[in-house]
Structure 1
Amino acid sequence: MANHKSALKRARQDEVRRLRNKSIKTRVKNIIKDIRETANKNESKEVFLKSLDAAKSIIDKSAKKGVIHKRTAARKISRLSKLIPS
């Protein structure tokens, strides 16, 4: 464990950030899972596109906050977009 005052503060900050990032990553994973389930259910195209827009927003926000890399976000969005039903 850290001994210096500044190191103790850094440890507290790291823990807060870790928990915040964890919740955001979980949210991204869950929205991706929901989109894939929607695609497998053969829902209407409008329903899928609406949920895809929400997923894009969540993924982009997580990249903007630095939780995931911007190229990782682009890759996830691209792979979800390929699932659009015909």
Structure 2
Amino acid sequence: MANHKSSVKRIRQTKVKTLHNKYYAKTMRNAVRKLRATTDKDEAAKQFPVVQKMLDKLAKTNIIHANKAANLKSGLAQHINKLG
């Protein structure tokens, strides 16, 4: 167990932030999965800006790495272009 008041508080804060970050990361992964599963180009093109915005926000707040966000956006754009 922690020996200092500040470390007890830090443990509490970390739990809350971890839960918060897990929620948004999981939501993002589900959105990416849903977009990849889409076979209709028009529907995928509608979903893409929403997912793109989500990825940018998560990268800005350091929930995911900026390069990971860029990599996912690039892959999704390629997927949409292949749908034809």
Q: What TM-score, normalized to structure 1? A: 0.90
Distance 1:81 1:2 in 2: 47
Query: What is the total number of aligned residue pairs between the two structures?
Result: 82
Q: State the Cα RMSD in Å.
A: 0.9
One-letter amino acid matched to 2:4: H
Residue matched to 2:13 = 13
Q: Gaps spanning 5+ residues in structure 1: where?
A: none
Alignment of 1:39-50 (within 5 A): 42-43=39-40, 45-50=41-46
Note the residue ranges of structure 2 that are not aligned, 5 or more in a row. none
2:47 to 47, 51, 66: 51
CA deviations 1:46-82 (Å, max 9, x no partner) are 2211101111011111111110010110001111110
Q: Does 1:64 align with 2:60?
A: yes
What residue number does 1:74 align with? 70
Instruction: Report runs of 4+ in structure 1 exceeding 2 Å deviation.
Output: none
Letter in 2 for 1:35: L
Identity score, percent: 37
In the alignment, what sits opposite 2:26? 26
* TM-score normalised according to structure 2 size: 0.92
Distance 1:27 1:64 in 2: 16
1:8-53 CA distance string (max 9 Å, x none): 0100110011001100110111001100111xxx31x322111011
More helix by share: 2
How far apart in 2 are the matches of 1:48 and 1:30? 14
